[in-house]
């Protein structure tokens, strides 16, 4: 009797001991999920994430605006050139809502995807733009060159930020998982996106200024749709 009890108890203990590491193993496979109450994990709320991302995009747009103004001062392209036919931003293939209703009609996932597409599309052109500025100067000051570099970095950072926001939204169940993750964002690039190499620097800046404004506006729309209590 004693031995039987002892055996069952030991079996129970063994099972318990075996289960515990299994649980820890399973838990370590997935990415740690931080809840608000969990210690040692700095949790950012969605509203907080949105704030950061929007501030980031606002700064990015500001820099692009400055660079564009500088370009206009230096090169003074005639007014006719601005609206000339044929000037085409390489991101014009990406379908973006051009009005409030269009933007509001778009689903969150769609809107997020548009944002990501835009950001991805500008990564390479901005990098090359900065390289051109650093090497050739073209009468630019080092200040402009620094801005170009900052712009290039910001696009990269902003993309990561938006991806995090998307993750968070998916986590919270606000968004379906149809939004592409980081791995597949490269697939967002249009196939014939190499035409940006043909763009002149001024046109590039013009296009980017507009696209950064779009990104900022779309993010704001998303924020007011998802976390409306925050400054909307």
Partner 1 sequence: MMTNVWEAVVLLLLPFLAPNAEGTQYSPPGKPALTRCRSPEKETFTCWWEPGSDGGLSTTYALYYRKENSETVYECPDYHTAGENSCFFNKNDTSIWVNYNITVVATNALGSSFSDPVDIDVVYIVKPNPPEELNVTIMEDKGWPYLRVSWKPPQKADTRSGWITLIYELRVKLEGEDDWEMHLAGQQKMFNIFSLRSGGSYHVQVRCKPDHGFWSEWSSADYIKVPDYFHREKSMWILITVFSTFIFLIFMCFLHMNSNSLKYYILPPIPGPKIKGFDKQLLKNGKSDEIFCALVVPDFPPTTSSKCENLMVEYLEVYVSEEQELILEESKELHNSLKCEGSTSDNDSGRGSCDSHTLLMDKCGEAKGDERQTDGEGHPMEMEAQMHQRDWKEGTLSSAYQDIVSPDMSSGRVKTWPSVFSPLHQCGSTSLNQMNSLAMAKQHCLSDNLSPPGSASSFLPQSGRSTTETHRPNYCEFYSSDKQLSSPKPQAQTHRKLQAHSDINISHKQAGLQSPALRPTEYVEVQRVNKEDMVLLQPVESGCVCGDGCPQVCQDYSKVKGLNSDNMLLLHRDVMEGEEVRSHCEKQETNGCITSHITPATQKPTDCIPTVTPIVQKEMGLAVSGYVDTAAMLTLPTH
In the complex, the residues that contact partner 1 under the rule CB under 8 A are 58, 61, 65, 79-80, 82-83, 85-88, 92, 96, 98-101, 103-104, 210, 213-214, 216-217, 220-225, 228, 231-232
Burial-class residue 3 by CB neighbours within 10 Å (0-12, 13-18, 19+).
exposed
Tokens of 104: 């509001």
DSSP state of 39: T
Q: What's the closest the beta carbon of residue 170 comes to partner 1, in angstroms?
A: 21
CB-count exposure of residue 170 (10 Å: 0-12, 13-18, 19+): middle
Instruction: Give long-range contacts, CB 8 A cutoff, 24+ apart: 26-34.
Output: 33/171
Q: How far is the CB of 214 from partner 1 (least distance, A)?
A: 6
- Minimum Å distance from CB 122 to partner 1? 15
Sign of the alpha-carbon torsion through 150, 58, 207, 65: negative
When the beta carbons of 92 and 181 are compared against partner 1, the nearer one is 92
Cβ distance to partner 1 smaller for residue 64 or 152: 64
- Whose Cβ is closer to partner 1: residue 140's or residue 196's? 196
Minimum Å distance from CB 190 to partner 1? Answer: 16
- Whose Cβ is closer to partner 1: residue 116's or residue 221's? 221
CA distance 27 to 119: 34
- Kindly state the smallest distance separating residue 129's Cβ from partner 1, in Å: 20
104/176 with CB nearer partner 1? 104
Q: Give the nearer residue to partner 1 in terms of CB position, either 149 or 224.
A: 224
Question: Contact, 226 vs 174, CB < 8 A?
Answer: yes
Task: Please answer whether residues 140 and 133 qualify as being in contact, where contact means their C-beta atoms are separated by less than 8 angstroms.
Answer: yes
CB of 166 to partner 1, least distance (A): 17
The first and second tokens of residue 86, run together, are 């044929």
């Amino acid at each position: 009797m004693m031995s039987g009890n002892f055996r069952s108890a030991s079996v129970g203990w063994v099972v318990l001991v075996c289960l515990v590491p299994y649980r820890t193993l399973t838990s370590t496979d997935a990415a740690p999920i931080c809840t608000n109450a969990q210690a040692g994990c700095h949790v950012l709320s969605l509203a907080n994430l949105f704030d950061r991302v929007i501030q980031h995009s606002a700064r990015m747009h500001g820099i692009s605006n400055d660079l564009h103004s500088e370009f206009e001062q230096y090169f003074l392209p005639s007014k006719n050139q601005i609206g000339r036919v044929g000037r085409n931003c390489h991101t014009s293939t990406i379908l973006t809502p051009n009005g409030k209703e269009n933007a509001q009609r778009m689903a969150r996932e769609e809107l997020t995807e548009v944002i990501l597409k835009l950001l991805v599309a500008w990564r390479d052109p901005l990098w090359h733009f900065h390289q051109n500025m650093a090497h050739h100067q073209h009468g630019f000051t080092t200040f402009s060159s620094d801005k170009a570099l900052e712009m290039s970095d910001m696009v990269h950072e902003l993309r990561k930020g938006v991806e995090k926001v998307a993750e968070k939204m998916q986590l919270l169940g606000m968004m379906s998982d149809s939004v592409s993750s980081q791995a597949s964002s490269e697939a967002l690039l249009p196939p014939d996106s190499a035409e940006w190499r043909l763009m002149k620097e001024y046109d590039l800046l013009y296009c980017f200024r507009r696209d950064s404004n779009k990104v900022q506006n779309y993010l704001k729309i998303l924020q007011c749709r998802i976390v409306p209590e925050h400054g909307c």
